[in-house]
Amino acid sequence: MDKARKTKLGVALAVIAIIVVAIVILVSRRTHFVPLQSREQIERVLQDRVLWIQETSINDFQKQQLIKTLADILMIYRDGDFEQFLNYLRQRRGRFDPSRMAGLRDILANLSKISPEQLRPEERQEYQRTRQIFDKIAPQFPQWPPKDDLSVFKAHWLLTYHDAGVWSGIEVKTAYIRVFQTNQPINPNTALAAIQSPNRLVFYRNTSFPGEQDAPCLYAEVYLVARHPTPDPYWGYYLWLRWSNAIQNWFLDLAGMTFSGNRSANTDLLF
C-alpha cells in the first residue's frame, strides 16, 4: 500500500472514530424517561433503576416503606387525585394544619374582593382564568369561599390540578435517593440553599404528622426530572421525606423545584 493510500485510510479511520465518539456522547446524554404506569411498576423502578446513596443506614422495613411512600407520591401527583392524597394523609394520621393554611384561606377570601379594572392587562387575563375555574368548582362546596381546612385545601387542589397532574414520567439516569440524618428538621431556607439553580422555589407543607417534632431526623432527599402532561419543559424536583417513629412511615416534609421560564400551575406541589 503506497503512502498516499495509507494517509487516506488513516484519515478515514480517524473520521469514523470521531463519529463513533460523538454518537456515544449523544446517546449518553439522551434522557431516559420512564412513564408512570402503575404503583408496582414505579416501585420496581425506584428499587432497581434509581441511584441510592445511603449516608446513614436504614433497615429493610424503612427502605420498603420509603419505596411505597415515593410510589404513593408519584401516583398522587401523576393523576392530581384528591382522594389519593387524603388516603396518604389518613395512613399517616396526618391532618391539615390551620396555622399553615392562612395563606391559602386568604387567597380564596380575597379573590372575590379584587376588581379586574384595577389590574394590569396581563394580570387581568390571569384573574379571569382563575375566576372561571373557581366558578366551575364552587358548586362542589356548601359555601363559597369555603371556611374549614379540608374544603380550603380541596379548593386549591382543584384549582391547581383541574387540567392535569404534575408529571407523567421521570428521568431515571439522573434520579437519586439520598438517605441521611440531621440534628433538627430541615427548614425552607436550608432546602432552598440545597437546590443548585438560580431559578428555584420551595413548596411548604400545609399538613402536620405525629412525630414531626422528634430529633434527630432521618431524611430521604429525592431528586428527579419530570416529564409533564402539559407542554412544559422538563423541570427538576426535590422531595425531602422524613421518617416518623410514631407512625412507622415516611411523610413529605418539604419539596422544591428548578425551572427556567414560565410554567403551568399544575407543576406546583400542594401537600
Q: What averages of pLDDT result for each successive group of 10 residues across the chain (271 residues)?
A: 49 40 36 92 97 98 98 97 98 96 87 80 81 88 91 95 95 97 96 91 96 96 97 96 98 96 92 97
Pick from 238, 74, 268, 254: which is nearest to 162 by CA?
268
Contact 207, 94 (CB under 8 A): yes
Predicted structure pTM score: 0.85
Q: Which three cell numbers stand for residue 213?
A: 417534632
Q: Which three cell numbers stand for residue 244?
A: 416518623
